Amino acid sequence: MEDTKAPEIAISAQRQWSWKEFFFQWEWLLVVVLLMVIGVNTWLSPFFLSLDTFIRTPATFLDKSFIVFPMMMVIILGKIDVSVGSTVALSAVVMATSYNAGVPMPVAMLICLLVGTTCGAINGVLIAKFKELSFVIVTISTMMIYRGIAFIILENRASGGFPGWYAFLGWGEVAGIPVMMLAFIAVAVIYGLLLHRTSFGRVVFGMGNNATACRYSGVDTDRVTMTVFTLAGLMAAITALFLTSRMGSTRPNVAMGYELEVIAMVVLGGVSTNGGMGRIAGPILAIFIVGFLSFGMGLANLQAPVVLVVIGLLLIVSVLALRVRFTVKKKKPVV
Amino acid sequence: MSESQYILEMRDITKTFPGVRALDGVRFDLKPGEIHGLMGENGAGKSTFIKIITGVHSPDAGELLINGQPMEFKRPLDAQKVGVAAIYQHVTCYPDLNVAENIFMGHEKVTGPTRRIDWKSMHAEAQALLNQLDANFSSTERMGALSVARQQIVEIAKALSFNARIVIMDEPTAALTQHESEELYRITDGLREKGVAVIFISHRLEDIRRLADRVTVFRDGKYIGCWPVEEITQDKLIVAMVGREISQMFPKRVINIGDEVLRVENLSRVGFFRDVSFDLRKGEILALTGLVGAGRTEVCEAIYGVEPSDGGRIVLEGKEVRVGNPLDALRVGIGCLPEDRQKQGLVLPWEIGKNITLPSLRTFSRFTWLNEQQEHEAAGRLAQKLSVKARSIFTKVFALSGGNQQKVVVAKILSRSLKVIILDEPTKGVDVGAKAAIYEIIGDLAEQGYGIILVSSEMPEVLGMSDRIVVMKEGRVTARLVTSETTQEEILNAAMVVETEQAAAQAELQVVGDAPSETEGAR
């Protein structure tokens, strides 16, 4: 179609602003859903709608959010990592055990980060270097292995007794804003820039769409895969730090099932499990939708299982809505 | 209405696709119990012709008669009903199911109200079909565990299970070893004795000599002639296939050819190619040609590092280079336009600009931080230079025509500073107009001093564009020719004909060639 136009017209390097495209974005639907959730919550409790709710309440559900962004990156790459929950548990357990064995707390925290990063790097190396192992097999296996090691170390006991200052991570505030909230904002900004403003992020999107073409274009695809998975491990360890600080102790069964909740948030945020698609704003909105939804259901005295049912339904409906949007878009002629 | 002596007759078949006249007034006839060879270069219209017989395409004009009755196939099922079946070079099977399941896929033997599968009678019937074909393997074997030749026999059995009276075999021997081909010949002979008519398409003159009763030749979508096999010589057949004038599409420029830029010495990869050597100079276009499957693409993939070679040397400007992956190749200055532009060349859902800068992102980033302004400017410049036809660099590439997509891939390569450019079938699936534009670009690149390796199966392209020609057959170089002193006949001879002196070398290669059959089975 383009071909029939006069060929001499120069190809433009200027992006044209289109209001239609601007409003035709998945994230607007999420904004509407979030407003609806807030509306219902306000109706349920007259105390809900206050500045405090939006600054302090999130600390109750933000611990998972640190894995949402790396998971988003993994899914954009066209893969999935179900071992993150186990990585959280293993790094937390190793940290607590080494602290109680006499290691100073700051060193124990470094060990925690190191364990998480190593777990992620193992996933990355296995997936990148052994093509016959699919990412599903690798991360399901390591999910069991990491969790298993955590249980072997701590035998289903709790371990805690951390120094008082450690609680600051999970409960502390700076200028009236929870530390966790600040950390969340920092991580969101870093991942947003990494995905949308760097050549690394560009290549991650490219590999999600067509890894073969990226390899032919001279992209070191193995290194990108390893980096993305290693980052997921590191972020799981950061989650372990905040989670342990909030709970004051840890057990080998912490963060059980986090991987699925996190994947659900990423998908709700409009990131396609086929890879190569997604924007940072979607998962951010999804974190708050799911968070406030659970919080509101708590206000309404609904049991946790009901929350699960609602989130499951929301996920199916939203993914269907996403499909409908893309079928509309595909109406464009494809040569 | 008199009973026709032909089971299939096609008259004045014409089929046009946008920009291409694929078939132009072609005719063809087929007697019951005959093996009729169909030959022609790539792009001669054979595939379109088959698709018309099997009802995939309907012709724009012309008549198709089955047993003297005019027929109109609206969909493949119509052709299947009157007994037309096709067997392709790449067998389309279900590798994890057994032979009987593959034969009866879609028309299983069922009994009773629950439509339970009657395994016993299905296996009995499958075995009967296999016995009919003198095949010595069982219907219970897993399809994926069979050799390609045996998979093809299963396909033939499947055709017979539909009571096919016309069987089309599209280059069935291309992927077979000599020994396997013999088995296929025997079975095809058996079909003839049963009165089944066979259309046998092949590039191999041996196949046609050994099997066919008559041979029809197409060229450029036109009917050239039909001869009884005993009455036509090998040379005459080759002339019939290629005998055309080279059109004015290739304005060969006078370019000063410089020093040697690339030398390949005894490059080998077990099971794919062996002892491939050639050299390339600045500003030179070296054509690498041969039949599909001769190992040309594999050689390019080795030089570009996609599938590294396991023997031999690659020397760039006098220094030996080690190329383990495409990133290495691009770093030392070797670029490649891959054969499959949609799968290997482009990120289809992406914009033109993002595609163009993918190989050179590092240039526009500092500590991985992208300077999009710079990136867009560079992409715009390259798109402009290659006159990609689109509104802006933010147009998605899947919306472009084949020729324009190809220009985007060339722009990608040019975003790096290179010395050698490999072009693997650059005009494949591109219409005539865009072809001329791409030839123009290739000429420009040579003029700018790039050394160019042009992989092509199209004779006019090879003869019209190149300075020298390397011909490959079954993984080996069979000829090194200077374009201005050679003919199409000479090239085709080197690409197709087994000469006595090569027979020994070929037998040797066969031993090596058996190695990949394992991987093929696993696929």
SS (H, E, C) B196-216: CEEEEECCCHHHHHHHCCEEE
A2 vs B404: CB contact, 8 Å cut-off?
yes
Contacts of A334 in chain B (CB under 8 A): 398-399
Burial status of residue B265 (CB atoms within 10 A of its CB: 0-12, 13-18, 19 or more): middle
In a domain, A124, yes or no: yes
Q: Angle of helix A26-44 relative to helix A304-329, nearest 10 degrees?
A: 150
Beta carbons of B402 and B434 less than 8 angstroms apart:
yes
Confidence of residue B227 (pLDDT cuts 50, 70, 90): very high
Q: Most confidently modeled of A167-176, A278-287, B283-292?
A: A278-287
Closest partner residue to A217 (CB to CB) among B387, B401, B412 is: B412
**How many folded domains does chain A comprise?**
1
pLDDT at A307: 79
A218 vs B412: CB contact, 8 Å cut-off?
no
Confidence of residue B435 (pLDDT cuts 50, 70, 90): confident
Contacts of A16 in chain B (CB under 8 A): 392, 394
Work out the number of other CB atoms within 10 angstroms of the CB of residue B231: 9
Alpha-carbon distance B52 to B56, whole Å?
Answer: 6
A16 vs B350: CB contact, 8 Å cut-off?
no
pLDDT at B301: 92
Q: How much is the ipTM here? A: 0.84
| Long-range pairs for A326-332: beta carbons < 8 A, 24 or more residues apart | A332/B399
Work out the number of other CB atoms within 10 angstroms of the CB of residue B84: 26
> Is the pLDDT confidence value at A6 over 60?
no
> Is the pLDDT confidence value at B358 over 50?
yes
Contacts of A15 in chain B (CB under 8 A): 376, 392, 394
Tokens at B126, concatenated: 């499958």
Tokens at B267, concatenated: 């490059």
A11 vs B380: CB contact, 8 Å cut-off?
yes
In a domain, A24, yes or no: no
Contacts of A3 in chain B (CB under 8 A): 389, 401, 404
Closest partner residue to B390 (CB to CB) among A2, A203, A212 is: A2
Confidence of residue B513 (pLDDT cuts 50, 70, 90): very low
Alpha-carbon distance B442 to B118, whole Å?
Answer: 61
- Closest residue in B to A275 (Cα–Cα): B349
- Closest residue in B to A335 (Cα–Cα): B399
> Is the pLDDT confidence value at B510 over 70?
no
Contacts of A219 in chain B (CB under 8 A): 327, 358
Are B8-242 and B260-333+417-522 the same fold in CATH?
yes
B348 vs A210: CB contact, 8 Å cut-off?
yes
Closest partner residue to B368 (CB to CB) among A1, A198, A334 is: A198
The residue-averaged pLDDT of B223-241 equals: 85
In a domain, A330, yes or no: no
* B462-494 residue pLDDT tens: 888 899 999 998 889 999 999 888 888 888 888
Could you tell me where the DSSP H helices lie in A198-303? 199-216, 221-247, 258-268, 281-299
pLDDT at B428: 77
Parse chain B into domains and list their residue ranges: 8-242, 260-333+417-522, 348-416
CATH among 3.20.20.70, 3.40.30.10, 3.40.50.300, 3.40.50.150 for B8-242: 3.40.50.300
Tokens at B260, concatenated: 């040697």
Element (H, E) at A329: helix A304-329
* A43-62 residue pLDDT tens: 888 877 888 888 888 888 89
Radius of gyration (C-alpha) of chain B in whole angstroms: 25
In a domain, A14, yes or no: no
Contacts of A200 in chain B (CB under 8 A): 368
Beta carbons of B351 and B395 less than 8 angstroms apart:
yes
Closest partner residue to B392 (CB to CB) among A12, A218, A276 is: A12
Instruction: Identify each DSSP E strand in B426-485 by its residue range.
Output: 451-455, 468-473, 476-482
Confidence of residue B19 (pLDDT cuts 50, 70, 90): low
Alpha-carbon distance B496 to B272, whole Å?
Answer: 17
A14 vs B392: CB contact, 8 Å cut-off?
yes
pLDDT at A334: 39
B376 vs A13: CB contact, 8 Å cut-off?
yes
Contacts of A332 in chain B (CB under 8 A): 399
Taking all residues of chain A, what is their mean pLDDT, rounded to a whole number?
88
Closest partner residue to B377 (CB to CB) among A13, A199, A202 is: A13
- Closest residue in B to A3 (Cα–Cα): B389
Fold of B260-333+417-522: Rossmann fold (3.40.50)
> Is the pLDDT confidence value at B54 over 50?
yes
pLDDT at A148: 95
How many H-runs (helices) and E-runs (strands) does chain B carry?
Answer: 18, 24
Alpha-carbon distance B299 to B278, whole Å?
Answer: 11
The count of residues in chain A is: 335
Alpha-carbon distance B166 to B80, whole Å?
Answer: 10
Chain A residues within 8 angstroms (CB to CB) of chain B: 1-3, 5, 7, 10-16, 197-200, 202-203, 206, 209-210, 212-220, 276, 332-335
Closest partner residue to A7 (CB to CB) among B338, B358, B387 is: B387
Classified as helix, coil or strand, B424 is strand
The residue-averaged pLDDT of A164-174 equals: 89
pTM: 0.77
Tokens at B96, concatenated: 């994890």
Confidence of residue B249 (pLDDT cuts 50, 70, 90): low
Contacts of A214 in chain B (CB under 8 A): 347, 358
| Chain center to CA of B359 | 27
In a domain, A189, yes or no: yes
* B387-403 residue pLDDT tens: 888 888 998 998 887 78
Closest partner residue to A12 (CB to CB) among B349, B391, B401 is: B391
In a domain, A2, yes or no: no
> Is the pLDDT confidence value at A332 over 60?
no
Confidence of residue A331 (pLDDT cuts 50, 70, 90): very low
Alpha-carbon distance B182 to A209, whole Å?
Answer: 44
B399 vs A12: CB contact, 8 Å cut-off?
no
* B97-111 residue pLDDT tens: 999 999 988 888 888
Work out the number of other CB atoms within 10 angstroms of the CB of residue B172: 26
CA distances from A243 to A66, A178, A284, A290 (A): 11, 14, 19, 18
B392 vs A11: CB contact, 8 Å cut-off?
yes
Residue A309 sits in a domain whose CATH number is 1.10.3470
In a domain, A168, yes or no: yes
DSSP A311-322: HHHHHHHHHHHH
Q: A140: domain range?
A: 29-41+50-155+163-324
Tokens at B250, concatenated: 């290739």
B361 vs A202: CB contact, 8 Å cut-off?
yes
pLDDT at A327: 53
- Looking at CA atoms only, how far is residue A333 from chain B in angstroms? 7
Burial status of residue A255 (CB atoms within 10 A of its CB: 0-12, 13-18, 19 or more): buried
B330 vs A1: CB contact, 8 Å cut-off?
no
* A188-213 residue pLDDT tens: 999 999 999 999 999 999 999 999 99
Tokens at B350, concatenated: 């992406």
Confidence of residue B497 (pLDDT cuts 50, 70, 90): low
In a domain, A193, yes or no: yes
Element (H, E) at A177: strand A177-178
Q: Closest Cα to residue B290, out of B499, B492, B507, B41?
A: B492
> Is the pLDDT confidence value at A326 over 80?
no
Classified as helix, coil or strand, B285 is strand
The residue-averaged pLDDT of B83-87 equals: 88
* A80-104 residue pLDDT tens: 999 999 999 999 999 999 999 999 9
Beta carbons of B289 and B455 less than 8 angstroms apart:
yes
> Is the pLDDT confidence value at B81 over 90?
no
CA atoms within 13 A on the CB side of B212: 29
Q: How many CB pairs under 8 A join A and B?
A: 121
Alpha-carbon distance B151 to B470, whole Å?
Answer: 34
